[in-house]
């Protein structure tokens, strides 16, 4: 449940060829610390990356645990993809909504994010292809720092 199927430094390193090689036809994307940093700045090259995936018939949808609909709407508009906010990963409600938007089977979907205990567990529970990325920035609050330390222990 805690082991991602793949790990990448940045989401933009995931290529259409890699996805096709693993029979992935759609991706569910996390936002915070995956597509945008803590200051809400988009990852360099993210718009071009999304466009390349769409040109290769890879469907995309955002599923974020954030309840800040304006932030998620802004990112979704920038990337021109649908979204689910306040998805409550690793619970399945939000991922099921995103799966329905994509119109694909679980085994044809990769869920990508920077958190082991939300993104990876949620994807694995849904029988999706789980991809863990390195967070864009290190959080400085006590809860996040503690969670990241636990993640490192489990990833070993």
Q: Which helix (H) or strand (E) holds 156?
A: none
What topology is assigned to 6-155 in CATH?
A: Rossmann fold (3.40.50)
Q: Could you read off the pLDDT of 8-45 as tens digits, one per residue?
A: 999 999 999 999 999 999 999 999 999 999 999 999 99
| Separation of alpha carbons 112 and 62, rounded Å | 10
Q: Is the pLDDT of residue 145 over 80?
A: no
Q: What is the pLDDT of residue 12?
A: 98
Predicted pLDDT at 77: 98
- Token pair belonging to 113: 């994010």
Q: What is the pLDDT of residue 123?
A: 98
The pLDDT tens digits for 127-143 are 999 999 999 977 777 66
Classify the C-alpha dihedral 14-19-22-26 as positive or negative: positive
Contact 21, 100 (CB under 8 A): no
Q: Is residue 63 over pLDDT 70? A: yes
Domain boundaries, the chain: 6-155
């Amino acid at each position: 449940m805690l082991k991602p199927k793949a790990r990448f430094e940045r989401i933009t390193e995931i290529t259409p060829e890699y996805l096709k090689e693993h029979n992935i036809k759609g991706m569910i994307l996390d936002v915070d610390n995956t597509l945008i940093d803590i200051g809400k700045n988009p990852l360099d090259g993210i718009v071009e990356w999304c466009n390349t995936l769409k040109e290769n018939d890879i469907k995309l949808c955002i599923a974020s645990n954030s309840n800040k609909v304006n932030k998620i709407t802004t990112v979704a508009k920038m990337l021109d993809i649908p979204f689910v906010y306040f998805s409550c990963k690793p619970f399945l409600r939000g991922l099921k909504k995103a799966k329905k938007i994509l119109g694909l089977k679980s085994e044809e979907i990769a869920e990508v994010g920077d958190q082991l205990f939300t993104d990876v567990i949620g994807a694995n529970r849904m029988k999706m292809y789980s991809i863990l990325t390195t967070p864009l920035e290190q959080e400085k609050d006590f809860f996040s720092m503690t969670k990241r330390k636990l993640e490192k222990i489990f990833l070993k």
